[in-house]
């Protein structure tokens, strides 16, 4: 093709979108799915699957998943204005504008994201980024943006652009409902989900929670998502999708590349001392210093001594069996905990609580107890005859001055290893047990192929 006036010079364009939904409906991934269709109609070339980027899960004002999306294209420079227009129109038409805490934004960046953007992206996974910080980085990188409401969406939008998922990543096929069904129960056949899970695991994950007999692929809110299937490859999620019996029309589906199930927030966490600020993901190793405490409501607390400070860890009731594992720890156990630091507004500054997302039992201590010796005559446990006076049998009156207590080892109810909450209480970013050993070191960089979206 002849190059005239630079009009067909290809440019790399990254588009980040965030915060278009509210508790009443909408979904940022749905806007991405509409854009996939609209850009495909214009025969534009995607250089990556659309990305769903989950950010710091501990941010207090984000009660839902805290997900942003990024679209990455290679387009003729002459298409730039049209792509920008389509994005903004689609955003305006489909965001829950005017709803509380819905502050949509889109960021456009030509060329590859700079190290400044990558760094901001890393901070958005592990801490809190302010709107002025995000605006500054977008300007310095030569990007442009549109934002509505408070502008908070800018943070996630630029963070999504900068998170290129070059290391470990997973895929999610998201299918969407037709408008007339929004708010109605989702008609996804439960048995077909269980069967699909059995046949495709571990290439897919978090489909079904056998502990609670709960289907996990379908959400429950008024949003347009019918279901989301997570897995290791685009082929795996598409194959799983085709196994399901779905008794309602599907408007469209798209396969996304994501940081779901990768522990990305823990990999980016800084050193322990730096990371102990409120709302940050942390991991730290230490020794259990007190017997765990179970409080009303079923929550379990345990204290950990780590680098000369004591940190309280909490495992909440919905984590299921996980909290029982925590309850079975004893002083002396060596563990590594993963979780989010709870903000300690107004309380004693020295007290730090980590809400547990994952526990690694590194070394079990010995659960020792002292028992009185058995009577050599009749076998009954003897009683102490007084300080330094040996033991006496109450049944046969046998007395044994030289006897001493026996040290017994109680069997432990847990083993060294990794423990995560029951699946229904998993966070999007938490790496499920089934993914250990399946981590990808890099992305092959291939553009999407096959039937990765419809229509």
Give residues in contact with Zn ion (CB under 5 A). 375, 377-378, 393, 395-396, 398
Distance, in Å, from the CA atom of 393 to the CA atom of 395, rounded to the nearest integer, reads 5
Minimum distance between the CB of residue 395 and Zn ion, rounded to whole angstroms? Answer: 5
Minimum distance of Zn ion from residue 305's CB (angstroms):
44
Tokens of 335: 């563990």
Nearer to Zn ion, 343 or 374 (CB): 374
Closer residue to Zn ion (CB): 316 or 398: 398
Nearer to Zn ion, 316 or 400 (CB): 400
Residue 374 beta carbon to Zn ion: minimum distance, rounded to whole angstroms: 8
The C-alpha R_g of the chain, in whole angstroms, comes to 27
In Å, the largest CA–CA distance within the chain is 110
The residues with which 75 forms a beta bridge, in sequence order, are 11
Find the shortest distance in angstroms from Cβ 406 to Zn ion.
Answer: 16
Two structure tokens written together for 391 = 């033991």
Helices 28-41 and 80-94, interaxial angle, to 10°? 140
Pick between residue 167 and residue 390 the one whose CB is nearest to Zn ion.
390
User: Given phi > 0 = left and psi -120 to 50 = alpha, else beta, which region is 111?
Assistant: left
Give whichever of 249 and 376 is closer to Zn ion, judged by the CB atom: 376
Using an 8 Å Cβ cutoff, are 381 and 371 in contact?
Answer: yes
Structure tokens at 105: 């934004």
Q: Which is nearer to Zn ion, 394 or 413 (CB)?
A: 394
CB-wise, 30 or 391, nearer to Zn ion? Answer: 391
State in angstroms the smallest separation of the CB of 390 from Zn ion: 13
CB of 403 to Zn ion, least distance (A): 12
Q: CA nearest 91: which of 166, 46, 147?
A: 147
Report the nearest approach of Zn ion to the CB of residue 309 (Å): 51
Q: How many other CB atoms are there within 10 angstroms of residue 2's CB atom?
A: 5
| 118 Cβ contact list (under 8 Å, min separation 6) | 162, 163, 164
């Amino acid at each position: 093709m002849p190059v005239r006036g630079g009009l067909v010079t290809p440019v790399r364009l990254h588009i980040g979108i965030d915060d278009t939904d509210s508790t009443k409906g909408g979904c940022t991934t749905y806007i991405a799915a509409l854009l996939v269709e609209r850009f495909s109609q214009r025969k534009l070339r995607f250089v990556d699957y659309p990305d769903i980027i989950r950010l710091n899960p501990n941010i207090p004002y984000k009660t839902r998943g805290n997900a942003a999306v990024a679209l990455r294209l290679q387009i003729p420079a002459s298409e730039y204005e049209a792509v920008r227009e389509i994005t903004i129109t689609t955003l305006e038409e489909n965001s829950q504008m005017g709803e509380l805490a819905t502050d949509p934004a889109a960021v456009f960046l030509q060329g590859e994201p700079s190290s400044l953007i990558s760094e901001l992206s890393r901070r958005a996974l592990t801490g809190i980024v302010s709107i002025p910080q995000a605006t500054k980085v977008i300007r310095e990188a030569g990007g442009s943006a549109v934002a509505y409401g408070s502008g908070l969406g800018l943070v996630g939008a630029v963070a999504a652009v900068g998170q290129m998922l070059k290391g470990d990543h997973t895929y999610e096929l998201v299918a969407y409902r037709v408008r007339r069904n929004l708010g109605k129960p989702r008609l996804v056949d439960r048995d077909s989900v269980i069967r699909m899970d059995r046949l495709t695991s571990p290439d897919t994950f978090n489909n079904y929670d056998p502990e609670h007999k709960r289907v996990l692929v379908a959400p429950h809110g008024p949003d347009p998502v019918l279901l989301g299937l997570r897995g290791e490859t685009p082929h795996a999620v598409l194959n799983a999708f085709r196994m399901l019996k779905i008794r309602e029309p599907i408007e469209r589906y798209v396969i996304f590349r994501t940081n779901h199930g990768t522990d990305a927030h823990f990999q980016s966490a800084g050193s322990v001392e730096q990371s102990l600020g409120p709302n940050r993901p942390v991991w730290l190793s230490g020794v259990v210093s007190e017997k765990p405490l179970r409080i009303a409501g079923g929550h379990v607390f345990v204290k950990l001594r780590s680098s000369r400070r004591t940190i309280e860890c909490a495992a909440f009731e919905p984590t299921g069996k996980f909290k029982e594992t925590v309850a079975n720890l004893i002083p002396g156990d060596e563990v590594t905990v993963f979780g989010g630091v709870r903000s300690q507004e107004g309380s004693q500054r020295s007290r730090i609580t980590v809400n547990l997302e994952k526990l690694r039992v590194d070394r079990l201590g010995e659960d020792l107890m002292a028992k009185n010796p058995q009577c050599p005559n009749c076998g009954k446990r003897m009683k102490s005859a007084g300080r330094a006076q040996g033991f006496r049998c109450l049944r046969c009156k046998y007395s044994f001055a030289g006897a001493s207590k026996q040290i017994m080892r109680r069997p432990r109810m847990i083993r060294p290893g990794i423990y995560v909450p029951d699946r229904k209480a998993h966070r999007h970013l938490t790496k499920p047990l089934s993914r250990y050993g399946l981590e990808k070191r890099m992305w092959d960089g291939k553009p999407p192929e096959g039937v990765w979206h419809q229509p």
